[in-house]
Amino acid sequence: MEPQIHIESYGRFRDLLEAAPNAIFEVELDGTIVLLNVAAERMFGYQREALLGQLIEVLIPESLRQRHHEHRGRHAEYPLTRPMGIGLELWGRRNDGSQFPVEISLSPIRSSEGSRVIAIVRDITSRKEADAKIQAFTAELAAKNQQLEIRNREVERANRLKSEFLASMSHELRTPLHTIVGFADLLAEELKGPLNQNQKRFLDHIQRDSRHLLELINDILDLSKIESGRLELHPELFRVPDAVAEAMAGLRPLAENKQIRITEAIDRELEITADRLRFKEILSNLISNAIKFTPEKGQITIESSEGPKSVFFAVTDTGIGIDPAEQQAIFNKFYQLGSTTRGVREGTGLGLAITKSLVEMHGGRIWVESTPGQGSRFQLTLPRAGIERPAKSGESAHPFPGVQS
Ligand code: ADP
């Protein structure tokens, strides 16, 4: 039995139809338009009367009419509620001949007048435009990414070349410098005859500056090795207090010169797996800085504590301290705080950059806390047994990635 629509609710349906934002058509199976709403009039630019009784194909661009006709035939055979033309670009044609992209859904209905189809048409111009914009943007982004990747590779290559150049340069420079240092030391011993005051002063300059140059070259050599990935770590298990004592041996006279007291708070039994030589280098860089930047009669403390997976070290001084704004930058290459070292040929500005790289190569972390005028506390952690990394099948985990055993 046909459903009976009450006259009042029929009026409400009309209102609903007219309020709908999409164009709605009721079409007979042969394509004749029998009903449309105001949104349909507006979308296609027709008066309602001009469309009633017309074939729906007048609303389709001429070039697509034939295709539509065939599709309509098929829908009549298998009437189902579905979106129309899945995978096809659908176009509407306005009264003035202009075209616009549409999305259409079809619903078969059965009424007292026979089978019909309700077509709901949505103008998707703005969505298409947005899609096109997104596509253009995505393509642009992809192109930019590619450029960036090429640039990155160039930078990497240039960096590697620079490091290699520095490494070989430094090597070449070291040999003659050793000669200068050696002969200056010989002269200073006065075995070949006594020197007068002026000659001693000149010689002193030669010795100091050539040693500084040698230190700089050694640091550059180290850093360029680290940067080009050619510095290998040789991890071994060792007792920390022994290594600390060795690092301290060369530094104690410097501290004594300034009457700086050094306190060690290190567990006698503490052991760690790390590159012993590099570990000593890390500590002696931090301790020599502490001595350098602490005024006479100051105090330096070296301490360690053990966590389950890592060992913590701290070198604390009562020195000049570091401004909070500089506390990150001091780990950069060639960074020296202007006011503290200006005019003083001490250090190379590479010590902390090397120290940080060495700590990180071990899988550790280094940071500083400092109050200007009160002192600094350089802290670091090192994994007890190097970095844990998941073993790939057929391969045993090595505690130090990138390190050849
Ligand atoms: P440098 O060879 O000049 O010591 P570093 O890389 O070791 O180079 O240190 C960089 C700068 O960080 C130093 O020039 C100094 O200004 C600052 N600095 C490092 N350690 C300390 C410290 N313990 N106290 C105060 N300033 C420090």
Of all protein residues, whose CA lies closest to atom 19 belonging to ligand 1?
289
Of all protein residues, whose CA lies closest to atom 2 belonging to ligand 1?
347
Distance 330 CA to ligand 1 centre (A): 7
Tell me the pLDDT tens digit for each residue of 111-163. 787 888 999 999 999 999 999 999 999 999 999 999 999 999 999 898 888 87
Confidence category of residue 100, pLDDT binned at 50, 70, 90: very high
Distance 345 CA to ligand 1 centre (A): 13
What pLDDT, on a 0 to 100 scale, did the predictor assign at position 341? 46
Can you tell me whether residue 61 is helix, strand or coil? coil
Mean local confidence (pLDDT), 21-47: 94
Alpha helices in 189-275 (DSSP H): 197-227, 240-249, 252-257
Distance 324 CA to ligand 1 centre (A): 13
Specify the DSSP class assigned to residue 241. Answer: H
Distance 288 CA to ligand 1 centre (A): 9
Pocket (CB within 6 angstroms of ligand 1)? 289-290, 293, 317, 319-320, 322, 330, 335-337, 340-341, 347-353, 376
Of all protein residues, whose CA lies closest to atom 14 belonging to ligand 1?
336
Distance 293 CA to ligand 1 centre (A): 7
CB 368 within 8 A of CB 289: no
Confidence category of residue 362, pLDDT binned at 50, 70, 90: very high
CA angle in degrees (0–180, nearest 5) for 354-357-359: 110
Of all protein residues, whose CA lies closest to atom 16 belonging to ligand 1?
337
What pLDDT, on a 0 to 100 scale, did the predictor assign at position 14? 85
Of all protein residues, whose CA lies closest to atom 25 belonging to ligand 1?
321
Q: Of ligand 1's atoms, which has the minimum distance to the CA of residue 315? A: 23
What pLDDT, on a 0 to 100 scale, did the predictor assign at position 366? 97
Phi and psi at 114, nearest 5°, equal: 110, -175
Distance 308 CA to ligand 1 centre (A): 31
Our mutation pick for probing the ligand 1 site, out of 219, 331, 336, counting the most ligand atoms within 8 A of Cβ, is 336
- Give dist(CA 380, CA 389) in Å, integer: 20
Tell me the pLDDT tens digit for each residue of 208-259. 889 888 888 888 888 888 887 788 899 999 999 999 999 999 899 999 999 9
**Closest residue by Cα to residue 291 from 249, 323, 262, 326:** 262
Residue the block writes with tokens 């690092």: 247
Is pTM beyond 0.85? Reply is: no
